[in-house]
Chains A and B, each alone.
Chain A
């Protein structure tokens, strides 16, 4: 049967396999490592490939996983650019010297400073806000001014939160920590822990669900989950609430998906071409609207169902702080025993 051919077959197939080296593609190409869900990034890259003729080779995996892959590969890395869903991973890559500055002049004019690395080795592309979702039958939105309000005892048993391993919870708490200090951050985490009780969910979608069903009155989620829910059920009694808009408030907590240029990029010009496209009007619109996010370029309009970005003030704390605060906040969350 099969095994009698095993040796020659192995040999032939191995030779065949060695031909499968990635650089077979003729013409310009750019290698993308992406931690953003493929369904959110592929259409944009496909569009780029069609309009420019530059081949895009895409590898999707977890963001941190890719940072480590880049690190292990070192100078041998085939990657030219690194796209992730959150600034923390990009900043981590920068600290590990895996990125190099993007020298395109348009960076300074299109991307606000808090949404890019100090040396421009990564830039944000689309923003999401960590936001309150409330049940319109149960809550008067004027009673909530700040995320910190949700930690007061009056919300006991009425709040749903994501679980301790949620990157969004970690990033949100980091921002509170950066803006208001350790004491406030601890009190905030303890408060929402006690108020949520058993209403701790693994997925944002479930939190919106619980609010829509009236199981809880309010929840903490990324804004697009609310609009996704309203897409499938327009009558659902849920609405977004942007908090912390007072003068001394933190501002809306915004995190970005972004792109970095790798330190050992072998296709510099193609990579720059891709980055330029993603900063352009079409690129920004496509990248953001596919997930109902906000283009980071403030002059470009977001999807009309979203509250316009001019209607609220986003936090000005640089996202680079997220990477610094990552370990401390994880430890705090573990220490306080959030589930």
Chain B
């Protein structure tokens, strides 16, 4: 069973490997001489840049929220999760509008300074950095907040009692202690940045995934695309193993005594104003301003009668697809996660690791692999949403798998053993004992996958059946034409539909075990 699931999930990769290595191999040195150095520098610098900025932003916001009591804290506490509801390409198109030549920001700047000065173009590294940071810092925030909340104060007190200053305590005790959470969130952020397609292509910043998409769509060079993908997968695998290794290395244990967690302490009103202003700025940049713009554009489209009548169908398509895909992914992921945690043979663990590959295989490449295989072997299924769902599952199951794994790890196997000793079969044990216990973790996994599917773009663009557009596709089509007003209604709808999922997710205690 595990093998079957893992086979489905890794099969696009196998196909990609096959097509990369069966073609003309002289392509490798040629790619190395031309595209690779630039792509490598761009991808790595963007990943590093976004890591640094999201860490700074995420940890500092989480720290302030968990340690200080101030007016507005309850609001900020949940509002920093909201940016996750905005797809990266929506944020990108909003920022390309705002920061464009003769755009609102430049005009405001010129008016303020009475000059003709042009602001830096949003296209390229800076734009990508800003957009990706604003879009992904909530991951760091969520994990860091959970870590700070479950943090044992005794360590800090010990440090301060032995004469460490507050800064020293923060950097040498507090931060290292939440390292697992930081590493886990970096992992999420970097994978997100590396596999993002929509934002970097709207902002024209050449990363691996964007170059791969261009090779496929601009030149139909599937072999180059495959080779680039393989490289990307190789990097990601190194990264994946590094993260796993790091997790096993860095466990911190409670030595003795009880855990005392921090209670937020009140702060002066000047500080409170400062905090509120800083938070307002971050929140406006990442969520407030974009959503206001979307509302304004939607309203403009509505009053000018440009609102599409078929929006309802796009909503249904998006919800329907995402729900099935999330459910299917959950069904496929359960045996993988279960077997790997309960019968951790090498084989089962390898199957589990194999499933994670889907996350790093660029969406467009996996999608095209599916397209070619289905048209060649099962043509009657091609053009149905089944292929699209499979693409979603391959790409997003890993995101949910992590939550499923940790939920299963938290169930004490003794309970299952007891049930089995009493004569229950494995399946029955799972449905009656394990499943009720992991329901929450599994719900979170489902929500996460649902959310990601709602925002999915490249695979949907390539594999959607004719006449089956989703909200994300509509946004993309209109935004690439710079028809901001027409792109706004579907964008606003995606945000509205994903907010509940994001909100539920934020309620979960995101502890990186």
Contacts and interface: CB of A to CB of B under 8 A. Distances in A.
B288 interface: no
A52 interface: no
A203 interface: yes
Interface string B148-182: 00000000000000000000000000000000000
Contacts of A213: 102
A6 B123 CA distance: 43
Interface in A1-33: 1-4, 6-7, 9-10, 13-14, 17-18, 20-22, 31
Contacts of A209: 102
B389 interface: yes
B243 interface: no
A220 B247 CA distance: 57
Interface in A52-91: 57-62, 64-65, 67-69, 71-74, 76, 78
Interface string B197-239: 0000000100000000000111110000000000000000000
A68 B385 contact: no
Contacts of B381: 18
The A interface, classified by DSSP as helix, strand, loop or mixed, is: helix
A61 B461 contact: yes
Contacts of B219: 64
Given A4-B439, A209-B102, A21 B465 contact: yes
Contact of A22 (B328, B372, B467): B467
B330 A210 contact: no
A72 B368 contact: yes
Interface in B435-452: 435, 439, 442-443, 446
Interface string A109-131: 00000000000000000000000
A106 interface: no
Contacts of B386: 14, 17-18
Contacts of B379: 76
B389 A17 contact: yes
B327 A58 contact: no
Contacts of B217: 62, 64-65, 68
B385 A17 contact: yes
Interface in A198-219: 198, 201-203, 205-206, 209-210, 213
A72 B372 contact: yes
Contacts of B327: 2-3, 6, 9-10, 13
A183 interface: no
A53 to B, nearest CB: 18
A260 B87 CA distance: 35
Given A71-B220, A76-B379, A206-B101, A18 B331 contact: no
A184 interface: no
Contacts of A68: 216-217, 220
A130 to B, nearest CB: 19
Interface stretch (B255-263, B267-275, B336-344, B476-484): B476-484
Contact of B375 (A3, A13, A62, A74): A74
Given A57-B466, A205-B482, 17 more contacts: A2-B443, A6-B334, A9-B327, A10-B324, A10-B331, A14-B328, A18-B384, A20-B465, A21-B383, A39-B481, A39-B486, A64-B217, A67-B220, A68-B217, A72-B372, A198-B118, A201-B101
22 contacts: A1-B439, A2-B446, A3-B330, A3-B435, A6-B334, A9-B327, A14-B324, A14-B328, A18-B381, A22-B465, A31-B466, A37-B477, A59-B467, A61-B461, A64-B220, A69-B462, A72-B372, A73-B371, A73-B382, A78-B466, A165-B204, A202-B123
Interface of B: 100-102, 118, 123, 204, 216-220, 320, 323-324, 327-328, 330-331, 334, 368, 371-372, 375, 379, 381-386, 389, 435, 439, 442-443, 446, 461-462, 464-468, 477, 480-483, 486
